[in-house]
Amino acid sequence: MPEEAIFEDALERRQAAALGMWTFLATEVLLFGALFVAYALNYHLHADAFREAARRLEHLLAGANTAVLLSSSWTMAMAVHSAAAGRRRSLLAYLAATMLLGAAFLGVKAIEYRTEYEHGLFPGRFTWQGPAPARLFFNFYYALTGLHAAHVSAGLAALAWLWLSAFRARLDPRSVAAVENTGLYWHLVDMVWIFLYPMLYLMGRAP
């Protein structure tokens, strides 16, 4: 059955795609959420150690990185807007900006990881003599930020693909929908970070 023939019209088709995408996003929320809840429960068990460990993170760098990711969300929203309005050149520009910001985010994250490696806070090379459950904190930190970084990378791949197809051909309704869906995904990944940032970096900061 050719996919075109399934839906009555473009509106029905778009509604189906939107519902599918949002359902998928709900699964992503739970995928990350399970890890968030696991973290929160362990925080409850080892609050002091977790706070102490959290103070070792580069919270300013991460704050800057949050700004980078929020900016990428804005450029992404503008990209979706441009696509819907049929402005291909501005779509290309905004997509490129989003990719650039996304890559910058990953770059800063890599710098953070390197600092942590040098400070002996890395799994396999954990030399910090902090309170015992501190290692647990760092393991959560790597699991959470790693999973998040994997999602950012997947988003970058999708953006690159969008950019190339928008570069090569004119915009048709299908590619507009693809931009919209990638946008939704990108915003969700941003949203995850919005929660990750205070949860990991800021918990132990207050004196």
Partner 1 sequence: MKGPGPRVYAAVYAALMALLGVTMALSAVDLGPFGAAAAFSIAAFKAILVALYFMHLRYERGLLAVFASAGFVWLGVLALLAYCDYLTR
Partner 2 sequence: MAEPTATSYLNAAYTARSWLLTLDHKRIALLYMVSITFFFFVGGAAAVLLRLELLSPQADLVVAETYNRLFTIHGVIMVFFFLIPAIPAVLGNFLVPLMIGAPDLAFPKLNLASWYIFMLGGSLCLVALLFGGVDTGWTFYTPFSSLYSNSNVMLTALGVFVAGFSSILTGLNFIVTIHTLRAPGMHWFRMPLFLWAIYATSLIMVLGTPVLATVLVLVALERGLGIGIFDPRLGGDPLLFQHLFWFYSHPAVYIMILPAMGVVSETITCFSRRRIFGYSFIAFASLAIALIGFLVWGHHMFVSGQSMYAGMVFSFLSFLVAVPSAIKVFNWTATLHKGRIRLSTPMLYALGFIGLFTLGGLTGVMLATLGLDVHMHDTYFVIAHFHYIMVGGAVMGYLGGVHFWWPKISGRLYSEWWGRLSALIIFIGFNLTFFPQFLLGYLGMPRRYHVYPPEFQVFNVFSTAGASILGVGYLLPLAYLLWSLRYGPRAEGNPWLASGLEWKTPCPPPVHNFDATPVVRHGAYAYGPDGELRDA
Partner 3 sequence: MDSVPFFPPQASSMAAQTDWLYALSLGIALFFSLLIAGLLLSLAVRYEYRREVDRSNAVEESLGLELLWTAVPLALVMLLFFLGAKLFFALRRSPAEALEIHVVGRQWMWKVQHPNGRREINELHVPIGWPVRLRMISQDVIHSFFVPAFRVKQDVLPGRYSELWFTATRGGSYHLFCAEYCGTSHARMVGRVVALDPAEYQRWLSGFGAAQQPPVSPQAAGAALFEKMGCAVCHRASDGRAPTLEGLYGRRVLLADGRSVLADEEYLRKSILTPGWKLVAGFAPIMPAYAGRLDEEEILQLIAYIRSLQRGARHG
Cβ 52 to partner 3, closest distance in Å? 8
Instruction: In whole angstroms, give the CA distance from residue 189 to residue 110.
Output: 18
Decide: is 86 part of the binding site for partner 1 (CB under 8 A).
no
Nearer to partner 2, 17 or 97 (CB): 17
* Beta strand segments in the chain, E: 121-122, 125-126
CA-closest candidate to residue 83, choices 17, 177, 154 = 177
DSSP-assigned letters across all residues of 40-61: HHHHHHTHHHHHHHHTTS-HHH
* 31 touches partner 2 (CB under 8 A): yes
Report yes or no: 174 and 187 within 8 Å, Cβ to Cβ: no
DSSP classification of residue 133: T
Contact by Cβ (8 Å): 86, 122 = no
Which of 77, 96, 147, 191 forms a contact with partner 2 (CB under 8 A)? Answer: 147
Q: Which is nearer to partner 1, 2 or 207 (CB)?
A: 207
Calpha distance 52→45 (Å, rounded): 14
Other beta carbons less than 10 A from residue 73's beta carbon: 20
Could you say which of partner 1, partner 2, partner 3, none residue 140 binds, taking C-beta under 5 to 8 angstroms by partner kind? partner 2
Hunting for tokens 């739970």 — which residue is that?
30
Binding flag, residue 16, partner 1 (CB under 8 A): no
Interface positions with partner 1 (CB under 8 A) = 14-15, 18-19, 22-23, 25-30, 33-34, 36-37, 40-41, 44-45, 59, 63, 66-67, 70-71, 73-74, 76-78, 80-81, 84, 183-184, 187-188, 190-191, 194-195, 197-199, 202-203, 205-207
Binding positions for partner 2, rule: CB under 8 A: 1, 3, 5-7, 12, 15-16, 19-20, 23-24, 26-28, 30-35, 37-38, 41-42, 45-46, 49, 123-124, 132-133, 135-136, 139-140, 142-143, 147
